[in-house]
């Protein structure tokens, strides 16, 4: 049984990935500092899979602790690195926190991965590296554009750090997965997205509004040059996204990668407008949503959806769950945590 380290494994995408890894027979060790998660997630994971992963509460900015951890776990065969701060707006207010956290944790982890017998590394990247791409759908060949936020910049710099490290360390094999918009929850509703405070992202804002925690959703902008005037995104079910990590890891473990740094878009290939997401929610939940049109939000691109052929052909991965599935699961999760 191969041992895999998942940093940030109690977070939204991390926890779903741990479940899929365990389902595929991997032994999982989680590192999480609980800065944006809780130990209840560990219980949720165990109740889905029947297996409790090893867990250590380590702040990956503490270099000595990271070194100690890897001294104890020399038999790790792969690392999936999620641990990072991820709120775009907050990153504009607290740039140094974002650079310090997201880059140091990456550097200290990567340094140790190089020393392992099997140096396999999966990095949690983002479609934010493309900015407003000129052509839709976005291929991996689209130029990386100047970042719109310190958060986005940490993803770009992160990829560069890994690429440069791969260049001089041929034994290191890395894949960057560029996610589009992850939404939804595990169908069991035992794990899901739990934003702290007011949600910044569309789907948790919708489900919290429907659950009565928020009065009204503001739709940011209805004068964009799109069919209904609202922005278009590629919403991907978190379970499909989690499975992409397992497939990418297996590619590295089986030595199937053709270069020691590869990147893949992870999306559905389908663009949906904000109004389409709202209509989908109303249809699958059977309830109407309170929303108003508000001014555009700073930094939003008009449209972003993925060209998925590279992931389909090379990784052999394809999103199978629909927007309906994702919204239904997000609502199921929201109702479960609010006792509705």
- Out of 113, 138, 231, 270, the only residue in the binding site for ligand UFG (CB under 6 A) is 231
- Phi, psi (deg, nearest 5) at residue 203: -65, -45
Q: Which member of 121, 123, 205, 261 binds ligand UFG (CB under 6 A)?
A: 205
Inter-axis angle of helices 12-23 and 238-253, nearest 10: 60
The bridge status of strand 217-220 relative to strand 291-294 is parallel
Residue 220 near ligand UFG by CB under 6 A:
yes
* Min CB(95)–ligand UFG separation in Å: 15
Among candidates 179, 320, 163, 175, which has minimal Cα distance to 256? 175
Site string for ligand UFG, 97-126 (x = CB under 6 A): -----------------------------x
Taking CB under 6 A as the binding criterion, the range among 53-61, 136-144, 218-226, 256-264 that sits at the site for ligand UFG is 218-226
Structure tokens, 296:
């555009």
Among candidate residues 151, 179, 291, 305, the one labeled active-site is 151
Distance CA 83, CA 17 (A): 13
Give me the residues paired with residue 232 across strands: 273, 303
Cβ of residue 77: shortest distance to ligand UFG, in angstroms? 28
What three-state secondary structure class fits 252? helix
**Number of residue whose CB is nearest ligand UFG:** 231
Residue 176 per-residue DSSP state: E
The two structure tokens encoding residue 106: 């990456």
Contact positions with ligand UFG (CB under 6 A) in 130-159: 151-152
The reply to whether 319 sits near ligand UFG by the rule CB under 6 A is no
- Site of interaction with ligand UFG (CB under 6 A): 86, 88, 126-128, 151-152, 181, 200-202, 205, 217-220, 231, 233, 274, 297, 300
């Amino acid at each position: 049984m191969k041992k895999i380290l998942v940093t940030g494994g109690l977070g939204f995408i991390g926890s779903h990935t741990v479940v899929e890894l365990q389902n595929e027979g991997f032994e999982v060790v989680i590192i999480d500092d609980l800065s944006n998660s809780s130990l209840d997630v560990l219980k949720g994971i165990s109740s889905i899979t029947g297996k409790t992963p090893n867990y250590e509460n380590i702040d990956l900015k503490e270099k000595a602790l990271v070194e100690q951890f890897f001294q104890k776990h020399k038999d790790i065969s792969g690392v999936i690195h999620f641990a990072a701060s991820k709120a775009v707006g907050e990153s504009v207010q607290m740039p140094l926190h974002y650079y310090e956290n997201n880059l140091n944790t990456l550097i200290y982890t990567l340094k140790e991965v190089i020393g392992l017998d099997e140096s396999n590394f999966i990095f949690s990247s983002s479609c934010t590296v493309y900015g407003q791409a000129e052509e839709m759908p976005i291929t991996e060949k689209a130029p990386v554009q100047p970042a719109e936020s310190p958060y986005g910049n940490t993803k770009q710099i992160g990829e560069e750090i890994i690429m440069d490290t791969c260049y001089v360390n041929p034994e290191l094999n890395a894949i960057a997965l560029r996610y589009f918009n992850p939404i939804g929850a595990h169908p069991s509703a035992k794990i899901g997205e739990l934003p702290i405070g007011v949600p910044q992202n569309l789907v948790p804002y919708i489900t919290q509004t429907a659950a009565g925690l928020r009065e009204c959703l503001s739709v940011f902008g209805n004068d964009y040059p799109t069919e209904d005037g609202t922005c278009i995104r590629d919403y991907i079910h978190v379970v499909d996204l989690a499975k992409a990590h397992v497939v990418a890891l297996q590619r590295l473990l089986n030595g199937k990668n053709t270069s020691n740094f590869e990147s893949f878009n992870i999306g559905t290939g389908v663009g949906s407008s904000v109004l389409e997401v709202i209509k989908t929610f109303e249809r699958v939940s059977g309830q109407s949503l309170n929303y108003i049109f508000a001014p555009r939000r700073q930094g939003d691109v008009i449209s972003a959806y993925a060209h998925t052929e590279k992931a389909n052909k090379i990784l052999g991965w394809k999103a199978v769950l629909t927007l309906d599935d994702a919204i239904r699961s997000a609502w199921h999760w929201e109702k479960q945590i609010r006792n509705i």
